[in-house]
């Protein structure tokens, strides 16, 4: 058995759904369990509709039109989708009357996207000679905690998923399961979601629980790339990365896989292959527990905009136990999470990525240190073999010096797979290009 996951843009319209159906058919003999996201930007549309409903207006015209038009173009029965659209309107009416939107209701609301998309695909496959059965994730064993909007799956899914998909895996049931990504139910029967982009986790969870041969996530590019092709010239695909490297890539802004989705794979070392739906023949990139051959010095370069750099300087810090704890406690108090840190004896520099106001935090920190806050920074990250960091740093800084780029902070973890640096947002694309040229050739 294998698992095939298709994201929103792969199923964005009738034409793309037909194409995905043809890919599923091509892999039918490998017994694929298929995981789908909501069509195109449906999740965002639903969230917008919720906001509009809060202000008293019920409007799902774009979601409705997309799904009705697509069903029509595919020539499939709209009935199961019709009743979901009706239910969705009821829900939005409720929100508009109560002027209230809890996290629980928000999860219920966005679940409609995935639920409609699996019904669409399943109907199309069945109408065209491939036996398929759609499932809402809870019908194949997905139970989570009640942490709405970013729920964690419960341990029992390791048992419940095989209980539900065992017949398909063994060949007793030949209908290809088409399963909603991203959603689950808690013990009370309330719908939860696994966080934005969560359908990757659905796919890897199924793959690992079923001990599948491989989990495939299908994208619109040739697997994992050495840098973002929208910003950098001459990118190419990376044949192999480890789970750790893939998670770092995702944290630092690459469009790879949801970072949390790597966790289930580690249990049985299930390989994940990132494939290109526009280039089926290409092997894509393989994500594995350990490199099969020699580790390359540099795997990829990413950048993530919108960081704020905070410099905390205090001479009182000299030799003072507990000073760091005090600084970090202020971040805890204001619920602001820290991304990167660099310290010296009398100063600590850190980066955050938040839309929250920093006034309160600043006031608190200023009581015992001088604070400098600089916005519009980017974190540029070299995903690399840190055992070779001196060599990599030398090459990187030589190249940046030649181009007169001033790096404002740098951090390298002891056991990590990356070197990160802070530059101005306005310079980030150029920095990535310079580093890419240096490590992968211009």
Q: How far is the CB of 43 from ligand ASP (least distance, A)?
A: 4
- The answer to whether residue 10 forms part of the interface with Mg ion (CB under 5 A) is no
Residue of 32, 40, 198, 271 that binds ligand ASP (CB under 6 A): 198
Q: Are strands 272-276 and 214-219 parallel, antiparallel or unpaired?
A: parallel
242 interacts with, out of Mg ion, ligand ASP, none, CB within 5 to 8 A per kind: none
Round to the nearest angstrom and report the end-to-end CA distance of the chain. Answer: 41
Nearer to Mg ion, 108 or 439 (CB): 108
- The answer to whether residue 40 forms part of the interface with ligand ASP (CB under 6 A) is no
Counts for the chain of helices (H) and strands (E), in that order: 13, 16
Nearer to ligand ASP, 107 or 427 (CB): 107
H-helix or E-strand containing 14?
Answer: helix 14-26
207 interacts with, out of Mg ion, ligand ASP, none, CB within 5 to 8 A per kind: none
Task: Note every long-range contact of 61-66, with CB atoms under 8 Å and residues 24 or more positions apart, other chains counting.
Answer: 63/88, 63/112, 63/113, 66/13, 66/39, 66/40, 66/42
Query: Taking the CA of residue 365 as centre, how many other CA atoms within 13 Å lie in the half-sphere pointing to its CB?
Result: 28
Nearer to ligand ASP, 36 or 434 (CB): 36
Q: How far is the CB of 79 from ligand ASP (least distance, A)?
A: 23
With contact defined as beta carbons under 8 Å apart, do 133 and 118 qualify?
A: no
Nearer to ligand ASP, 110 or 392 (CB): 110
- The answer to whether residue 148 forms part of the interface with ligand ASP (CB under 6 A) is no
Residue of 68, 89, 175, 196 that binds ligand ASP (CB under 6 A): 196
**Mask: binding to ligand ASP, 266-305, rule CB under 6 A, as x and -?**
----------------------------------------
Q: How far is the CB of 34 from Mg ion (least distance, A)?
A: 16
With contact defined as beta carbons under 8 Å apart, do 312 and 373 qualify?
A: no
C-alpha span between 67 and 88 (Å, rounded): 13
- The answer to whether residue 43 forms part of the interface with ligand ASP (CB under 6 A) is yes
Nearer to Mg ion, 106 or 377 (CB): 106
Q: How far is the CB of 150 from ligand ASP (least distance, A)?
A: 11
C-alpha span between 382 and 379 (Å, rounded): 10
Total residues contacting ligand ASP (rule CB under 6 A)? 12
With contact defined as beta carbons under 8 Å apart, do 383 and 283 qualify?
A: no
Please report, as residue ranges, which positions from 257 to 296 form the binding site for Mg ion (by CB under 5 A). Answer: none
Nearer to ligand ASP, 37 or 285 (CB): 37
C-alpha span between 341 and 9 (Å, rounded): 35
Residue of 32, 113, 141, 207 that binds ligand ASP (CB under 6 A): 113
**What tokens appear for 220 in the block?**
């619109």
C-alpha span between 400 and 417 (Å, rounded): 21
- The answer to whether residue 259 forms part of the interface with ligand ASP (CB under 6 A) is no
C-alpha span between 88 and 108 (Å, rounded): 9
Question: Would you tell me how many other CB atoms lie within 10 Å of the CB of residue 10?
Answer: 22
- The answer to whether residue 37 forms part of the interface with Mg ion (CB under 5 A) is yes
**Mask: binding to ligand ASP, 19-38, rule CB under 6 A, as x and -?**
------------------xx
- The answer to whether residue 7 forms part of the interface with ligand ASP (CB under 6 A) is yes
Backbone angles phi, psi at 405, to 5 degrees: -95, 130
- The answer to whether residue 103 forms part of the interface with ligand ASP (CB under 6 A) is no
C-alpha span between 99 and 364 (Å, rounded): 35
C-alpha span between 123 and 74 (Å, rounded): 9
Nearer to ligand ASP, 142 or 323 (CB): 142
Tokens 């298929």 found at:
34
Q: Name the residues that contact Mg ion, by CB under 5 A.
A: 8, 37, 43
Q: Name the residues that contact ligand ASP, by CB under 6 A.
A: 7-8, 37-38, 43, 113, 181-182, 196-199
């Amino acid at each position: 058995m294998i698992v095939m996951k298709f994201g929103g843009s792969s199923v964005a319209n009738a034409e793309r759904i037909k194409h995905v159906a043809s890919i599923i058919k091509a892999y039918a003999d490998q017994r694929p369990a298929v995981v789908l996201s909501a069509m195109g930007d449906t999740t965002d549309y639903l969230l917008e509709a919720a906001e509009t409903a809060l202000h008293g207006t019920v409007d799902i015209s774009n979601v409705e039109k997309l799904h009705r038009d697509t069903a029509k173009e595919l020539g499939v029965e709209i009935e199961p989708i019709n009743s979901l659209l009706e239910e969705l309107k009821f829900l939005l009416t409720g929100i508009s009357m109560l002027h209230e939107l809890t996290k629980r209701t928000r999860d219920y609301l966005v679940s409609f996207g995935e639920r409609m998309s699996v019904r669409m695909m399943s109907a199309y496959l069945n109408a065209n000679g491939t036996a398929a059965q759609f499932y809402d994730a809870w019908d194949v064993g997905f139970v989570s905690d009640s942490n709405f909007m970013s729920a964690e799956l419960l341990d029992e899914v390791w048992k419940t998923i095989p209980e539900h998909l065992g017949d398909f895996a063994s060949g007793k049931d030949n209908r290809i399961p088409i399963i909603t990504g991203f959603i689950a139910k808690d013990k009370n029967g309330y719908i939860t979601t696994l966080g934005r982009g969560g359908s990757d986790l659905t796919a890897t969870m199924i793959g690992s629980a079923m001990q599948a041969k491989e989990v495939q996530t299908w994208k619109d590019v040739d697997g994992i790339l050495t840098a973002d092709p929208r910003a950098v010239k001459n990118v190419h695909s990376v044949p192999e990365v480890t789970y750790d490297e893939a998670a770092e890539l995702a944290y630092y802004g690459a469009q790879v896989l949801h970072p949390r989705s790597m966790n289930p794979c580690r249990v049985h070392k299930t390989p994940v292959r990132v494939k290109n739906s526009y280039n089926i023949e290409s092997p894509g990139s393989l994500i594995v527990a350990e490199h099969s051959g020699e580790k390359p010095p540099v795997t990829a370069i990413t950048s993530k905009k919108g960081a704020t750099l905070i410099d905390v300087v205090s001479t009182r810090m000299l030799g003072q136990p507990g000073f760091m704890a005090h600084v970090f406690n202020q971040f805890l108090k204001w619920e602001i999470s820290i991304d990167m840190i660099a310290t010296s004896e009398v100063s600590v520099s850190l980066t955050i990525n938040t839309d929250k106001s920093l006034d309160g935090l600043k006031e608190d920190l200023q009581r015992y240190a001088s604070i400098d806050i600089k916005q519009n920074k980017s974190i540029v990250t070299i995903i690399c073999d840190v055992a070779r960091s001196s060599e990599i740093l030398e090459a990187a800084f030589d190249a940046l010096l030649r181009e007169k780029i001033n790096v404002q902070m740098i951090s390298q973890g002891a056991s990590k797979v990356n070197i990160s640096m802070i530059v101005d947002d306005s310079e980030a694309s150029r920095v990535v290009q310079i580093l890419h040229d240096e490590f992968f050739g211009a």
